[in-house]
Amino acid sequence: MPDPSHAPAIDPVTLAVLRGRLEQVADEMDATLYRSAFNPIIAEAHDACHGLYDAITGDTLVQGKSGLPVFVGAMAFAVRATAKAAQSRDDGRGGMQDGDIWISNDAYDGGTHANDFKLVRPFFRNGKLYCYMASAAHWHDVGGAVPGNYNPAATECWQEAVQIPPVRIVRNGVLDRDVLAILQANTRLPDSLWGDLNGQLAALELGAKRLDGLLDEYGDDLVLQALGELRSRALRLMRSHIASLPDGRYSFEDVLDNDGITPEPLTIALDMTVAGDRLLLDFSRTSPQCAGPVNISRATAIAACYVALKHLFPDVPANAGVLDAVDFVLPDRLVISAERPRPVGGYTETILRMIDVIFSAAAKADPKRAVAQAYGTINALSIAGLRSDAGREGQRWVMFSFFGGGHGGHASGDGLSHGNAPISTATIPPLEILEAAYPVRFTEWSLRADSGGEGQHRGGLGAVYEIELLEKDAEVFVFGERGTSPPKGIAGGGSGAVNVFRYENEGAWHEPPMVSKMRGIRLVRGERVRLETPGGGGWGSAAERQPEERDRDRAMGYVTTGANAGRKASE
């Protein structure tokens, strides 16, 4: 590859144009997958991402604006793992080859969890590797003990899903049907898997075509130089933002309800040190890796930090330069640096808690910059069974979805009500799509009054979802958090409401013994499951909230009590 370091400085207008064009390559890959995927979690919720990665280091170069940021951060590790696998398994073809595409769902080298399949395509120009293109997407079901794969009782990764190391799915432009057969044999929904895989392959094909066109127009060297300059600018901006914070050590810790196996809480602890224009994130005081599936890998933990920092400093270009001014202390075998085969299926809950503690530690340095904690859980829900209606008798169905809650208040205003998790840009699937696809009816989908933390700026409201089963019977699985420890406010703000799960059996309502997690609950036709999601924490003292804002809250039904923070909606 050419070395851009000795090239003349690139002019700002050209750099801005190239930045937009490069982001458009990733954006078009995102859009292609969203339009072609079979799985509503990709097609409707946009639980996927695409990006460009450095040919030598695997570092993030460019990400799409609509893809999940946590995927972009984790994908750098997946690219490196794929390159390493290609080198170690050189079959006489020279490792990475033009026309090859690799696939993996390895959560330990590539981050996140086994539902998230990563495809890596080496991109060549004139016979030389120029960069990598990568696609990550949440497949609907990939084996394991629980339909949809959020198994709250898993104690090993193999109980969660099939494990696929980096292997070629496309060789010299030809799909490897043997690998495809293995994948389809390890899912309850082979048609959905086939459609999602095709969508990712099509996205990478379009990305290669668009990048070729861009390089033909501007030249390989100039685009490479622009990529280097964008990373340098991200680093300079990060240093400037860090330097604007007061030097010091800022600590915060929070907890997970439990690991799904035992009821003891797990601590996520951060000691954040600001020293000039560098930031140290030390997670040494965090709990050790645990038996249940709230562990995450080191790759996932670093990706979570990337997302949190981008929230705090949103004007920084989204590439590896975000982390170049940041040092990490992540000792081995913590719940946030777990090793195989510790289960990692519930990774979303743990990275959300990491983001919470980063926000809250940053608030001690500068409360005007930080946001109070959001609802802190995706509430992964699976309902699965067999069809009994004529023409579809015995066909398996699996509904998997995640749900929203309240975001934290901030210096500029109240938190967002019924928003998506801050780890992503994924959207909550519309109830009309879920009802059309599965034998369920939403009997309630509403804002949850009194769930936002009090403050000068109130936390956003959580939501209430009540779902009735329309089939003969089905099993329900829920994987959530914030059932015992509510989202915290900052700068004197109050906490939001805790999470509440209930399910109906024989005319009575029940709550799971693990509070926020339940497995294998049997429902029959007409019975319901109910989720009451947390609100966000408040920002600032409630005594400083304006009277007209309090009047509006009461008029809209957002607040019905004088002291709402942390209470269950049913109390």
Question: What is the average pLDDT across 67-92?
Answer: 85
pLDDT digits 0-9 by tens, 527-557 = 999 999 999 999 999 999 999 999 999 999 9
State the pLDDT at residue 67. 79
Q: Using the predicted structure, report yes or no on whether residue 5 has a pLDDT greater than 60.
A: no
Neighbours of 124 (CB within 10 A): 18
Q: Using the predicted structure, report yes or no on whether residue 2 has a pLDDT greater than 80.
A: no
State the pLDDT at residue 425. 62
* Class of residue 463 by CB neighbours under 10 A (exposed 0-12, middle 13-18, buried 19+): buried
Per-residue pLDDT band for 426 (boundaries 50, 70, 90) equals low
Contacts for 417 with CB less than 8 Å, ≥ 6 apart: 406, 407, 447, 452, 460, 461, 462, 535, 558
Asked if 364 and 246 touch (Cβ cutoff 8 Å), the reply is: no
List the strands of the sheet with 440-447, edge to edge: 440-447, 463-469, 528-532, 500-505, 508-510
Per-residue pLDDT band for 231 (boundaries 50, 70, 90) equals very high
In angstroms, the Cα distances linking 157 to 111, 150, 374, 511 are 13, 11, 29, 27
Per-residue pLDDT band for 259 (boundaries 50, 70, 90) equals very high
Q: Using the predicted structure, report yes or no on whether residue 87 has a pLDDT greater than 90.
A: no
- Pairwise CA distance, residues 199 & 497, whole Å: 39
Token couple for 484: 């015992």
Question: What is the average pLDDT across 270-280?
Answer: 98
* Mean pLDDT, rounded, of the chain: 93
- Pairwise CA distance, residues 430 & 206, whole Å: 28
Q: Using the predicted structure, report yes or no on whether residue 267 has a pLDDT greater than 90.
A: yes
State the pLDDT at residue 3. 53
State the pLDDT at residue 524. 97
- The per-residue b/e assignment along 372-410, b for 16 or more CB within 10 angstroms, e otherwise, is bbbbbbbbbbbbbbeeeeeeeeeeebbbbbbbbbbbbbb
State the pLDDT at residue 95. 75
Q: Using the predicted structure, report yes or no on whether residue 6 has a pLDDT greater than 70.
A: no
Per-residue pLDDT band for 467 (boundaries 50, 70, 90) equals very high
The proportion of the chain whose per-residue pLDDT surpasses 90, expressed as a percent, equals 85
State the pLDDT at residue 567. 40
Full-model pTM: 0.92
Nearest to 409, CA basis, from 452, 358, 461, 458: 458
State the pLDDT at residue 569. 36
State the pLDDT at residue 570. 35
State the pLDDT at residue 79. 96
Q: Which residue has the higher pLDDT, 563 or 446?
A: 446
Q: Using the predicted structure, report yes or no on whether residue 383 has a pLDDT greater than 90.
A: yes
Rg (CA), the chain: 23
State the pLDDT at residue 565. 39
State the pLDDT at residue 9. 84
Question: What is the average pLDDT across 340-347?
Answer: 95
Asked if 475 and 384 touch (Cβ cutoff 8 Å), the reply is: yes
The proportion of the chain whose per-residue pLDDT surpasses 70, expressed as a percent, equals 96
State the pLDDT at residue 94. 58
pLDDT digits 0-9 by tens, 325-334 = 999 999 999 9
State the pLDDT at residue 145. 92
Least confident range of 53-67, 85-99, 219-233, 504-518: 85-99
Domain ranges for the chain = 4-235, 371-571
pLDDT digits 0-9 by tens, 154-208 = 999 999 999 999 999 999 999 999 999 999 999 999 999 999 999 999 999 999 9
Per-residue pLDDT band for 71 (boundaries 50, 70, 90) equals confident
State the pLDDT at residue 308. 93
pLDDT digits 0-9 by tens, 282-320 = 999 999 999 999 999 999 999 999 999 998 999 998 899
Per-residue pLDDT band for 432 (boundaries 50, 70, 90) equals very high
Q: Using the predicted structure, report yes or no on whether residue 564 has a pLDDT greater than 70.
A: no
State the pLDDT at residue 561. 75
